[in-house]
Amino acid sequence: MGPGLIIFLVSLAVVIVVFIATNIHIVPQAHAFIVERLGAYYATWNTGLHFKIPFIDRVAKKVSLMEKVADFEPQAVITKDNVKMQIDTVVFFQITDCKLYTYGVENPMAAIENLTATTLRNIIGELELDSTLTSRDIINTKMRSILDEATDPWGIKVNRVELKNIMPPREIQDAMEKQMKAERERREQILRAEGEKNSTILVAEGKKQAMILDAEAQKQKQILLAEAEKESRIRKAEGEATAILDVQTATAEGIKKLNESSPTDAIIAIKSLEAFAKAADGKATKIIIPSNIQSLAGLATSVTELVKTETPKAE
């Protein structure tokens, strides 16, 4: 075997190895290959090792199965009340059918962008400016539902749609800022008025409670004074009763001792005269004395004079 033949065989072997290597394909994770045979769809290769027939089979498209994010340029829309604004949208989608994705639409991304723009214009055209600014969740839900249904024949699943930014015209923004400022001032005035109202109510409640407490104190004071006066009267009455009882007791004791001493008629007559003297008390202008006592008046006078005449002698 000559050197030329050896070189030929080695070259042939290298060509065969390279040829075989170029027709062996390894599909990575979360990817798929669309294979055509003689120009027609043949198979979808999933993750793993695959071999294609040279000059007959070809990999038409490599598809990523991971979720994708499409951030489109802001779209010009007009609201129901004729306000023109720019809305920036973000679409999250995933390829679920590689064959439909490859052969369903010529340019899937351009199709999704245009479909998003037209859908957004239709939805915003039914809403006024205020509703547009406050109904993002509703708009997102409607757009996701419409886009998902429209892209299903393309093998695309729309998972989520978000309004990234809503940009009204400058004059509308200025008007909104003034409106927000006026609203904040109005709320501030309401809060201040409510505060003053509550303060007035609290002050009035305080005065009311003070008047109630003062009235209750006056009532308690009157009750205590009445009870004290009642107690004083009771004590005074008890003292007078005790004094009367003491006088009656003393009188009874005097009578008892007088009876025990067996008084004579003269002594009884003198006691009677003393009683009449106390009865007169220096105020009576006329006193009627019984006849039996009148006869003793002279005797009492004589006894009194006798006592007066004997008194110097005793000195």
One-character DSSP codes across 140-164: HHHHHHHHHHHHGGGTEEEEEEEEE
Is 21 in the same domain as 90?
no
Has residue 222 been placed in a domain? no
Distances (CA, A) of 70 to 4, 8, 140: 59, 53, 15
Is 74 in the same domain as 38?
no
Given this model, what pLDDT does residue 281 score? Answer: 56
Q: Are strands 84-95 and 75-78 parallel, antiparallel or unpaired?
A: antiparallel
Is 80 in the same domain as 125?
yes
Has residue 2 been placed in a domain? no
Residue 215 parent element (H or E): helix 170-260
Is 73 in the same domain as 153?
yes
Q: Using CA atoms, how far apart are residues 161 and 121, in angstroms rounded to an integer? A: 14
Is 114 in the same domain as 36?
no
Is 163 in the same domain as 93?
yes
Confidence (pTM):
0.54
Last residue of a domain, one of 39, 64, 89: 64
Has residue 187 been placed in a domain? no
Last residue of a domain, one of 64, 81, 97: 64
Is 76 in the same domain as 153?
yes
The answer to whether 59 and 32 have CB atoms below 8 angstroms apart is: no
Token digits for 312?
Answer: 């110097």
Q: Would you give the end-to-end CA distance of the chain in angstroms?
A: 201
76, 84, 69, 64: which is closest to 162 by C-alpha? 69
* Cβ neighbours of 177 (radius 10 Å): 10
Largest Cα–Cα distance of the chain, in whole Å? 206
Last residue of a domain, one of 108, 138, 168: 168
Has residue 202 been placed in a domain? no
Is 30 in the same domain as 111?
no
Is 93 in the same domain as 146?
yes
Given this model, what pLDDT does residue 179 score? Answer: 81
Phi-psi region of 281 (alpha: psi -120 to 50; beta: other; left: phi over 0): left
Q: What is the CATH number of the domain that holds 133?
A: 3.30.479.30
DSSP SS3 for 5: helix
Structural domain boundaries enclosing 291: 263-309
Cross-strand pairs, 167: 86
Domain count across the chain: 3
Has residue 49 been placed in a domain? yes
Is 43 in the same domain as 94?
no
What is the chain's pLDDT, residue by residue, as a tens digit (315 residues)? 567 777 877 787 887 778 777 888 899 999 999 999 998 999 999 999 998 888 898 999 999 999 999 998 888 898 888 888 899 999 999 999 999 999 988 888 899 999 999 999 999 999 888 888 888 899 999 999 999 999 999 999 999 999 988 888 888 778 778 888 888 888 888 998 998 899 889 888 888 888 998 888 888 888 888 888 888 888 888 888 888 887 778 777 766 776 666 666 656 666 666 665 555 555 555 555 555 555 554 544 544 454 445 444 433
Is 281 in the same domain as 303?
yes
Has residue 188 been placed in a domain? no
Given this model, what pLDDT does residue 303 score? Answer: 43
Has residue 143 been placed in a domain? yes
Has residue 5 been placed in a domain? no
Is 34 in the same domain as 119?
no
